[in-house]
Structure 1
Amino acid sequence: MQYSFTLRTIYPYLDQLWAAAGTTLLISVLSILLSVALGAGVALLRRSGLRILRFLGGLYVEVMRNTPLLVILYIVYFALPALNIRLSSFNAALIGLTLNSAGYMAEIIRAGLVAVAHGQFEAASTQGFTRVQTYRYIVMPQVFRTIYAPLGNQFIAVILASSLASAVAVEDVTAWMQTVGSSSFRFFETFVIAAAVYLVLCQIVNLGRIAIGRWMFGQGEARR
Protein backbone atom coordinates (compact mmCIF):
# COMPACT_ATOMS: atom_id res chain seq x y z
CA MET A 1 0.00 0.00 0.00
CA GLN A 2 1.42 3.36 -1.02
CA TYR A 3 1.89 5.93 1.72
CA SER A 4 -0.20 9.08 1.29
CA PHE A 5 1.36 12.23 2.74
CA THR A 6 -1.25 14.54 4.26
CA LEU A 7 -1.23 17.26 6.89
CA ARG A 8 -4.99 17.15 7.43
CA THR A 9 -4.78 14.96 10.53
CA ILE A 10 -2.12 17.26 12.04
CA TYR A 11 -4.22 20.44 11.92
CA PRO A 12 -5.90 19.88 15.34
CA TYR A 13 -2.45 19.81 16.97
CA LEU A 14 -1.02 22.96 15.40
CA ASP A 15 -2.19 25.16 18.28
CA GLN A 16 0.08 23.19 20.59
CA LEU A 17 2.97 23.70 18.17
CA TRP A 18 3.06 27.47 18.80
CA ALA A 19 3.58 26.93 22.53
CA ALA A 20 6.22 24.28 21.85
CA ALA A 21 8.06 26.58 19.43
CA GLY A 22 7.95 29.35 22.03
CA THR A 23 9.53 27.03 24.58
CA THR A 24 12.26 26.04 22.13
CA LEU A 25 12.97 29.69 21.32
CA LEU A 26 12.99 30.74 24.99
CA ILE A 27 15.34 28.01 26.18
CA SER A 28 17.63 28.61 23.19
CA VAL A 29 17.88 32.38 23.74
CA LEU A 30 18.49 32.01 27.47
CA SER A 31 21.10 29.31 26.89
CA ILE A 32 22.89 31.49 24.34
CA LEU A 33 23.02 34.52 26.64
CA LEU A 34 24.15 32.54 29.67
CA SER A 35 26.70 30.47 27.76
CA VAL A 36 28.27 33.60 26.24
CA ALA A 37 28.71 35.07 29.72
CA LEU A 38 30.03 31.82 31.20
CA GLY A 39 32.20 31.13 28.16
CA ALA A 40 33.77 34.60 28.40
CA GLY A 41 34.67 33.93 32.02
CA VAL A 42 36.21 30.55 31.18
CA ALA A 43 38.13 32.12 28.27
CA LEU A 44 39.63 34.67 30.65
CA LEU A 45 40.60 31.86 33.01
CA ARG A 46 42.43 30.16 30.16
CA ARG A 47 44.32 33.39 29.50
CA SER A 48 45.16 33.95 33.17
CA GLY A 49 48.72 34.32 34.39
CA LEU A 50 48.03 31.77 37.14
CA ARG A 51 48.63 28.18 36.17
CA ILE A 52 45.86 26.82 38.40
CA LEU A 53 43.28 29.09 36.76
CA ARG A 54 44.45 28.08 33.28
CA PHE A 55 44.20 24.44 34.33
CA LEU A 56 40.65 24.87 35.66
CA GLY A 57 39.55 26.70 32.53
CA GLY A 58 41.09 24.04 30.30
CA LEU A 59 39.55 21.26 32.38
CA TYR A 60 36.09 22.77 32.05
CA VAL A 61 36.42 23.09 28.27
CA GLU A 62 37.70 19.54 27.82
CA VAL A 63 34.98 18.02 30.02
CA MET A 64 32.13 19.90 28.37
CA ARG A 65 33.34 19.43 24.82
CA ASN A 66 33.97 15.71 25.28
CA THR A 67 30.81 14.78 27.18
CA PRO A 68 27.61 14.23 25.17
CA LEU A 69 24.96 16.83 25.86
CA LEU A 70 22.41 14.12 26.58
CA VAL A 71 24.62 12.76 29.35
CA ILE A 72 24.97 16.24 30.85
CA LEU A 73 21.19 16.69 30.78
CA TYR A 74 20.68 13.33 32.50
CA ILE A 75 23.21 14.21 35.19
CA VAL A 76 21.56 17.55 35.91
CA TYR A 77 17.98 16.22 35.85
CA PHE A 78 18.28 12.68 37.19
CA ALA A 79 21.52 12.55 39.22
CA LEU A 80 21.42 15.87 41.11
CA PRO A 81 18.25 14.91 43.04
CA ALA A 82 20.41 12.27 44.77
CA LEU A 83 22.26 15.27 46.25
CA ASN A 84 18.93 16.89 47.22
CA ILE A 85 19.20 19.31 44.29
CA ARG A 86 15.90 19.15 42.42
CA LEU A 87 15.27 21.24 39.32
CA SER A 88 12.31 21.64 37.03
CA SER A 89 12.58 20.15 33.55
CA PHE A 90 13.04 23.58 31.99
CA ASN A 91 15.73 24.70 34.46
CA ALA A 92 17.60 21.41 34.18
CA ALA A 93 17.62 21.64 30.38
CA LEU A 94 18.67 25.30 30.55
CA ILE A 95 21.60 24.51 32.86
CA GLY A 96 22.69 21.52 30.79
CA LEU A 97 22.57 23.44 27.51
CA THR A 98 24.38 26.40 29.04
CA LEU A 99 27.17 24.30 30.55
CA ASN A 100 27.71 22.41 27.31
CA SER A 101 27.58 25.44 25.01
CA ALA A 102 29.86 27.49 27.29
CA GLY A 103 32.67 25.02 26.58
CA TYR A 104 32.49 25.90 22.88
CA MET A 105 31.86 29.59 23.51
CA ALA A 106 34.98 29.72 25.68
CA GLU A 107 37.18 28.41 22.87
CA ILE A 108 35.63 30.80 20.34
CA ILE A 109 36.23 33.78 22.61
CA ARG A 110 39.72 32.59 23.56
CA ALA A 111 40.63 32.36 19.88
CA GLY A 112 39.53 35.97 19.47
CA LEU A 113 41.66 37.04 22.43
CA VAL A 114 44.70 35.21 21.06
CA ALA A 115 44.27 37.07 17.75
CA VAL A 116 44.85 40.42 19.49
CA ALA A 117 48.56 41.27 19.43
CA HIS A 118 50.14 41.43 22.88
CA GLY A 119 51.73 44.75 21.97
CA GLN A 120 48.32 46.38 22.05
CA PHE A 121 47.99 45.55 25.74
CA GLU A 122 51.38 47.13 26.38
CA ALA A 123 50.49 50.21 24.31
CA ALA A 124 47.24 50.64 26.24
CA SER A 125 49.14 50.38 29.52
CA THR A 126 51.60 53.09 28.50
CA GLN A 127 48.65 55.35 27.63
CA GLY A 128 47.25 54.99 31.14
CA PHE A 129 44.38 52.63 30.34
CA THR A 130 43.24 50.39 33.16
CA ARG A 131 42.83 46.68 32.45
CA VAL A 132 39.06 47.07 32.25
CA GLN A 133 39.36 50.03 29.87
CA THR A 134 41.85 48.11 27.75
CA TYR A 135 39.43 45.23 27.29
CA ARG A 136 36.41 47.48 26.77
CA TYR A 137 37.79 49.97 24.27
CA ILE A 138 40.67 48.15 22.56
CA VAL A 139 40.52 44.39 22.94
CA MET A 140 36.84 43.44 22.82
CA PRO A 141 35.96 45.38 19.62
CA GLN A 142 38.71 43.44 17.82
CA VAL A 143 37.73 40.16 19.46
CA PHE A 144 34.09 40.63 18.48
CA ARG A 145 35.01 41.17 14.85
CA THR A 146 37.14 38.02 14.86
CA ILE A 147 34.62 35.74 16.55
CA TYR A 148 31.46 37.15 14.95
CA ALA A 149 30.98 34.41 12.35
CA PRO A 150 31.79 31.36 14.54
CA LEU A 151 29.69 32.88 17.33
CA GLY A 152 26.69 32.98 14.99
CA ASN A 153 27.29 29.36 14.03
CA GLN A 154 27.36 28.40 17.70
CA PHE A 155 24.04 30.19 18.26
CA ILE A 156 22.51 27.97 15.57
CA ALA A 157 24.12 24.91 17.16
CA VAL A 158 22.45 25.77 20.47
CA ILE A 159 19.02 25.95 18.80
CA LEU A 160 19.54 22.53 17.25
CA ALA A 161 20.91 21.09 20.49
CA SER A 162 17.82 22.31 22.35
CA SER A 163 15.92 19.48 20.67
CA LEU A 164 17.45 17.18 23.31
CA ALA A 165 15.61 19.07 26.05
CA SER A 166 12.63 16.81 25.39
CA ALA A 167 14.69 13.99 26.92
CA VAL A 168 14.14 15.60 30.33
CA ALA A 169 10.43 16.26 29.74
CA VAL A 170 10.61 19.81 28.35
CA GLU A 171 7.54 20.49 26.18
CA ASP A 172 9.45 21.79 23.16
CA VAL A 173 9.09 21.19 19.43
CA THR A 174 10.68 17.73 19.60
CA ALA A 175 8.35 16.72 22.44
CA TRP A 176 5.40 17.98 20.35
CA MET A 177 6.64 15.90 17.44
CA GLN A 178 6.84 12.75 19.54
CA THR A 179 3.46 13.29 21.21
CA VAL A 180 1.55 14.18 18.07
CA GLY A 181 3.19 11.40 16.10
CA SER A 182 2.10 8.84 18.70
CA SER A 183 -1.43 10.26 18.83
CA SER A 184 -2.05 10.67 15.11
CA PHE A 185 0.19 7.87 13.81
CA ARG A 186 1.38 10.35 11.18
CA PHE A 187 5.03 10.34 12.17
CA PHE A 188 6.39 11.40 8.80
CA GLU A 189 4.22 14.53 8.71
CA THR A 190 5.12 15.53 12.26
CA PHE A 191 8.82 14.99 11.52
CA VAL A 192 8.58 17.28 8.50
CA ILE A 193 6.77 20.01 10.46
CA ALA A 194 9.27 19.85 13.33
CA ALA A 195 12.17 20.02 10.89
CA ALA A 196 10.55 23.05 9.23
CA VAL A 197 10.22 24.84 12.59
CA TYR A 198 13.90 24.30 13.43
CA LEU A 199 14.86 25.37 9.91
CA VAL A 200 12.90 28.61 10.26
CA LEU A 201 14.37 29.38 13.69
CA CYS A 202 17.92 28.75 12.49
CA GLN A 203 17.42 30.79 9.33
CA ILE A 204 16.09 33.72 11.34
CA VAL A 205 19.30 33.66 13.38
CA ASN A 206 21.43 33.28 10.25
CA LEU A 207 19.73 36.11 8.37
CA GLY A 208 19.95 38.31 11.45
CA ARG A 209 23.65 37.49 11.74
CA ILE A 210 24.26 38.44 8.12
CA ALA A 211 22.26 41.67 8.38
CA ILE A 212 24.02 42.78 11.55
CA GLY A 213 27.38 41.77 10.10
CA ARG A 214 26.80 43.88 6.99
CA TRP A 215 25.84 46.83 9.13
CA MET A 216 28.85 46.54 11.42
CA PHE A 217 31.61 45.10 9.25
CA GLY A 218 30.59 45.16 5.59
CA GLN A 219 29.35 42.46 3.24
CA GLY A 220 32.51 40.33 3.16
CA GLU A 221 32.70 39.81 6.91
CA ALA A 222 29.00 39.14 7.26
CA ARG A 223 28.97 36.10 4.94
CA ARG A 224 31.88 34.27 6.47
Structure 2
Amino acid sequence: MIDFTILTTYQDEYLKGFMTTIEASLLGLVGSFIIGVIIAVFRISSVRPLRWFGTAYVEFLRNIPLLITVFVFYHGLPVLHINLSGFASGTLGLAVYTSAFIAEAIRAGINAVPKGQMEAGRSSGLTYIQTMRYVILPQAIKVVIPPLGNQFINLVKNSSILGVVAGLDLMYFGDTINSETFDVFSTYIFVGLFYLVLTIPLSLFVGYLERRLARAY
Protein backbone atom coordinates (compact mmCIF):
# COMPACT_ATOMS: atom_id res chain seq x y z
CA MET A 1 0.00 0.00 0.00
CA ILE A 2 1.06 3.57 -0.65
CA ASP A 3 1.87 5.52 2.50
CA PHE A 4 0.52 9.02 1.82
CA THR A 5 1.98 10.33 5.06
CA ILE A 6 5.37 10.31 3.32
CA LEU A 7 4.09 12.88 0.84
CA THR A 8 2.64 15.12 3.53
CA THR A 9 5.63 14.76 5.86
CA TYR A 10 8.22 15.45 3.16
CA GLN A 11 6.22 17.78 0.96
CA ASP A 12 8.84 20.55 1.24
CA GLU A 13 11.58 18.22 0.01
CA TYR A 14 9.43 16.97 -2.87
CA LEU A 15 8.51 20.51 -3.90
CA LYS A 16 12.11 21.71 -3.70
CA GLY A 17 13.23 18.81 -5.88
CA PHE A 18 10.33 19.43 -8.27
CA MET A 19 11.29 23.08 -8.74
CA THR A 20 14.94 22.18 -9.24
CA THR A 21 13.94 19.59 -11.85
CA ILE A 22 11.91 22.23 -13.70
CA GLU A 23 14.83 24.66 -13.59
CA ALA A 24 17.34 22.07 -14.81
CA SER A 25 14.96 20.96 -17.57
CA LEU A 26 14.37 24.51 -18.83
CA LEU A 27 18.06 25.38 -18.80
CA GLY A 28 18.92 22.07 -20.43
CA LEU A 29 16.23 22.61 -23.05
CA VAL A 30 17.50 26.07 -24.02
CA GLY A 31 21.14 25.02 -23.94
CA SER A 32 20.65 21.82 -25.93
CA PHE A 33 18.58 23.64 -28.56
CA ILE A 34 21.20 26.36 -29.08
CA ILE A 35 24.07 23.87 -29.23
CA GLY A 36 22.03 21.51 -31.40
CA VAL A 37 21.31 24.20 -33.99
CA ILE A 38 25.00 25.13 -34.19
CA ILE A 39 26.10 21.50 -34.55
CA ALA A 40 23.40 20.85 -37.17
CA VAL A 41 24.73 23.76 -39.26
CA PHE A 42 28.25 22.36 -38.84
CA ARG A 43 27.01 18.98 -40.04
CA ILE A 44 25.85 20.32 -43.38
CA SER A 45 28.61 22.93 -43.77
CA SER A 46 30.77 22.96 -46.90
CA VAL A 47 33.79 23.62 -44.66
CA ARG A 48 35.29 20.19 -44.01
CA PRO A 49 36.75 20.81 -40.52
CA LEU A 50 33.36 22.08 -39.30
CA ARG A 51 31.56 19.16 -40.91
CA TRP A 52 34.00 16.67 -39.40
CA PHE A 53 33.70 18.29 -35.97
CA GLY A 54 29.90 18.20 -36.14
CA THR A 55 29.89 14.55 -37.20
CA ALA A 56 32.38 13.55 -34.48
CA TYR A 57 30.41 15.49 -31.84
CA VAL A 58 27.11 13.79 -32.72
CA GLU A 59 28.48 10.28 -33.12
CA PHE A 60 30.51 10.45 -29.91
CA LEU A 61 27.75 11.77 -27.66
CA ARG A 62 25.00 9.59 -29.12
CA ASN A 63 27.01 6.46 -28.40
CA ILE A 64 28.04 7.00 -24.79
CA PRO A 65 25.84 6.94 -21.66
CA LEU A 66 24.50 10.22 -20.31
CA LEU A 67 26.09 9.36 -16.96
CA ILE A 68 29.59 9.54 -18.45
CA THR A 69 28.87 12.96 -19.95
CA VAL A 70 27.73 14.27 -16.56
CA PHE A 71 30.72 12.71 -14.79
CA VAL A 72 33.09 14.50 -17.18
CA PHE A 73 31.74 17.82 -15.89
CA TYR A 74 31.43 16.74 -12.25
CA HIS A 75 34.61 14.67 -11.77
CA GLY A 76 36.69 15.59 -14.82
CA LEU A 77 36.72 19.38 -14.76
CA PRO A 78 38.15 19.58 -11.20
CA VAL A 79 41.36 18.14 -12.69
CA LEU A 80 41.57 21.45 -14.61
CA HIS A 81 40.76 23.33 -11.38
CA ILE A 82 37.21 24.02 -12.58
CA ASN A 83 34.77 23.05 -9.85
CA LEU A 84 31.07 22.97 -10.67
CA SER A 85 28.16 22.18 -8.39
CA GLY A 86 26.14 19.03 -8.88
CA PHE A 87 23.33 21.09 -10.37
CA ALA A 88 25.61 22.87 -12.85
CA SER A 89 27.41 19.68 -13.82
CA GLY A 90 24.19 17.75 -14.30
CA THR A 91 22.49 20.49 -16.29
CA LEU A 92 25.51 21.04 -18.55
CA GLY A 93 25.88 17.31 -19.14
CA LEU A 94 22.19 17.03 -19.90
CA ALA A 95 22.31 19.94 -22.38
CA VAL A 96 25.43 18.70 -24.17
CA TYR A 97 24.17 15.11 -24.39
CA THR A 98 20.70 16.04 -25.66
CA SER A 99 22.13 18.54 -28.15
CA ALA A 100 23.56 15.67 -30.21
CA PHE A 101 20.08 14.21 -30.75
CA ILE A 102 18.57 17.62 -31.43
CA ALA A 103 21.33 18.35 -33.96
CA GLU A 104 20.43 15.24 -35.93
CA ALA A 105 16.74 16.14 -35.91
CA ILE A 106 17.44 19.68 -37.12
CA ARG A 107 19.89 18.43 -39.75
CA ALA A 108 17.14 16.21 -41.13
CA GLY A 109 14.84 19.24 -41.20
CA ILE A 110 17.43 21.33 -43.04
CA ASN A 111 17.88 18.59 -45.63
CA ALA A 112 14.09 18.53 -46.11
CA VAL A 113 14.08 22.20 -47.16
CA PRO A 114 14.37 22.50 -50.98
CA LYS A 115 17.88 23.48 -52.07
CA GLY A 116 16.41 26.29 -54.13
CA GLN A 117 15.68 28.13 -50.88
CA MET A 118 19.37 28.50 -50.14
CA GLU A 119 20.09 29.59 -53.71
CA ALA A 120 17.27 32.12 -53.60
CA GLY A 121 18.54 33.57 -50.34
CA ARG A 122 22.10 33.88 -51.60
CA SER A 123 20.99 35.42 -54.90
CA SER A 124 19.02 38.07 -53.01
CA GLY A 125 22.22 39.30 -51.38
CA LEU A 126 22.11 37.42 -48.06
CA THR A 127 25.25 35.79 -46.71
CA TYR A 128 25.32 32.05 -45.97
CA ILE A 129 24.76 32.68 -42.26
CA GLN A 130 21.91 35.12 -42.91
CA THR A 131 20.25 32.73 -45.35
CA MET A 132 20.53 29.91 -42.84
CA ARG A 133 19.17 32.08 -40.03
CA TYR A 134 16.29 33.81 -41.80
CA VAL A 135 15.32 31.36 -44.55
CA ILE A 136 16.42 27.78 -43.93
CA LEU A 137 16.27 27.26 -40.15
CA PRO A 138 12.73 28.68 -39.66
CA GLN A 139 11.42 26.20 -42.24
CA ALA A 140 13.51 23.32 -40.93
CA ILE A 141 12.44 23.77 -37.31
CA LYS A 142 8.76 23.74 -38.29
CA VAL A 143 9.31 20.37 -39.95
CA VAL A 144 11.05 18.81 -36.95
CA ILE A 145 8.92 20.21 -34.13
CA PRO A 146 7.40 16.75 -33.33
CA PRO A 147 10.76 14.94 -32.95
CA LEU A 148 12.15 17.94 -31.06
CA GLY A 149 9.21 17.72 -28.70
CA ASN A 150 9.98 14.07 -28.04
CA GLN A 151 13.60 14.94 -27.30
CA PHE A 152 12.48 17.60 -24.83
CA ILE A 153 10.29 15.03 -23.06
CA ASN A 154 13.29 12.70 -22.86
CA LEU A 155 15.34 15.58 -21.48
CA VAL A 156 12.88 16.09 -18.62
CA LYS A 157 13.06 12.40 -17.72
CA ASN A 158 16.83 12.30 -18.10
CA SER A 159 17.14 15.20 -15.68
CA SER A 160 16.92 12.53 -12.97
CA ILE A 161 20.66 12.07 -13.59
CA LEU A 162 21.20 15.09 -11.33
CA GLY A 163 20.38 12.85 -8.41
CA VAL A 164 23.63 10.96 -8.98
CA VAL A 165 25.76 14.11 -8.55
CA ALA A 166 23.83 15.71 -5.68
CA GLY A 167 21.95 18.04 -8.01
CA LEU A 168 19.10 18.57 -5.50
CA ASP A 169 16.46 17.40 -7.99
CA LEU A 170 13.50 15.07 -7.50
CA MET A 171 15.61 11.91 -7.58
CA TYR A 172 18.11 13.34 -5.11
CA PHE A 173 15.41 14.14 -2.57
CA GLY A 174 13.68 10.84 -3.35
CA ASP A 175 16.88 9.04 -2.37
CA THR A 176 17.18 11.19 0.75
CA ILE A 177 13.59 10.51 1.80
CA ASN A 178 13.99 6.80 1.13
CA SER A 179 17.08 6.66 3.32
CA GLU A 180 14.95 7.97 6.19
CA THR A 181 11.69 6.09 5.61
CA PHE A 182 12.97 2.85 4.02
CA ASP A 183 9.69 2.78 2.08
CA VAL A 184 11.03 2.39 -1.44
CA PHE A 185 7.66 1.85 -3.10
CA SER A 186 5.82 4.86 -1.68
CA THR A 187 8.78 7.22 -1.91
CA TYR A 188 9.47 6.64 -5.59
CA ILE A 189 5.80 6.40 -6.58
CA PHE A 190 5.48 10.03 -5.51
CA VAL A 191 8.70 10.92 -7.36
CA GLY A 192 7.23 9.31 -10.48
CA LEU A 193 3.97 11.23 -10.08
CA PHE A 194 5.85 14.53 -9.96
CA TYR A 195 7.61 13.61 -13.20
CA LEU A 196 4.24 12.80 -14.76
CA VAL A 197 3.03 16.29 -13.83
CA LEU A 198 5.78 17.60 -16.10
CA THR A 199 5.81 15.07 -18.93
CA ILE A 200 2.09 14.47 -19.56
CA PRO A 201 1.23 18.14 -20.36
CA LEU A 202 4.36 18.35 -22.50
CA SER A 203 3.39 15.15 -24.32
CA LEU A 204 -0.12 16.45 -24.94
CA PHE A 205 1.28 19.73 -26.27
CA VAL A 206 3.61 17.88 -28.66
CA GLY A 207 0.67 15.80 -29.88
CA TYR A 208 -1.32 18.98 -30.46
CA LEU A 209 1.52 20.47 -32.50
CA GLU A 210 1.80 17.28 -34.58
CA ARG A 211 -1.89 17.36 -35.46
CA ARG A 212 -1.81 21.08 -36.23
CA LEU A 213 1.25 20.75 -38.46
CA ALA A 214 -0.30 17.75 -40.21
CA ARG A 215 -3.36 19.85 -41.09
CA ALA A 216 -1.16 22.76 -42.20
CA TYR A 217 0.80 20.58 -44.58
Answer whether TM exceeds 0.5 for this pair: yes
User: What is the aligned partner in structure 2 of residue 220 from structure 1?
Assistant: 214
CA–CA distance in structure 2, aligned partners of residues 219 and 113 of structure 1: 17
Aligned to 2:196: 199
State the partner residue of 1:113. Answer: 110
Residues 126-160 of structure 1 deviation map (CA, whole Å, 9 limit, x = unaligned):
33444344334432232122110000000001001
2:51 to 51, 54, 64: 54
From the superposition, tell whether residues 5 and 152 of structure 1 become closer, same or farther in structure 2 (CA, over 3 Å). same
Mapping for residues 1-224 of structure 1, pairs under 5 Å: 4-211=1-208, 213=209, 218=212, 220=214
Identity across aligned pairs (percent)?
A: 35
Q: TM-score, normalised by structure 2?
A: 0.92
Contact 2:150–2:206 (Cα < 8 Å) also in 1 = no
Residue identity opposite 2:110 in structure 1: L
Distance apart, 1:19 and its partner CA: 0.9
Contact 1:10 1:184 in 2 (8 A): no
CA distance in 1, matches of 2:191, 2:108: 34
Deviates more, 1:161-170 or 1:118-127: 118-127
Distance 1:68 1:127 in 2: 45
Within 1, Cα distance between the matches of 2:70 and 2:49? 28
CA offset digits 1:17-62 (Å, max 9, x no partner)? 1111000000011011011001111111111111111111100111
User: Whole-Å Cα distance in 2 between the matches of residues 116 and 50 of structure 1?
Assistant: 20
Number of matched pairs:
216
Q: Quickly say closer, same or farther: Cα 1:88–1:221, change in 2 above 3 A.
A: farther
The 8 Å contact of residues 166 and 175 in structure 1, kept in 2 or not, is answered as yes
Once residues 143 and 198 of structure 1 are traced to their aligned partners in structure 2, the CA distance between those partners, rounded to angstroms, is 30
CA drift at 1:13: 0.3
22-31 vs 180-189, which moves further: 180-189
Inter-CA distance 135–79: structure 2 relative to 1 (3 Å threshold): closer
2:29–2:155 contact (8 Å) kept in structure 1: yes
> Do 1:77 and 1:89's aligned partners in 2 also have CA atoms closer than 8 Å?
yes
Point out where structure 2 has 5 or more consecutive residues left out of the alignment.
none
Q: 1:121 to 1:26 in 2, by over 3 A?
A: same
Task: Report the alpha carbon displacement of residue 124 of structure 1 after superposing the two structures with TM.
Answer: 2.6
Q: Deviations over 1:47-83 (max 9, x none)?
A: 1111111111100111111110111111210122122
Counterpart residue identity of residue 141, structure 1? P
Q: 1:9 to 1:51 in 2, by over 3 A?
A: closer
Specify the code of the residue in structure 2 equivalent to 1:123. Answer: A
**Whole-angstrom CA distance in 2 between matches of 1:145 and 1:156:** 18
Deviation at 1:191, TM superposition (A): 1.1
- The answer for unaligned runs of 5 or more in structure 1 is none
* C-alpha distance in structure 2 between counterparts of 1:198 and 1:134, whole Å: 39
Q: Report the Cα offset of residue 218 of structure 1.
A: 2.4
- What displacement does 1:104 show? 0.7
Instruction: Select between 181-190 and 8-17 the one with higher mean Cα deviation.
Output: 8-17
Distance 1:9 1:127, change over 3 A: closer
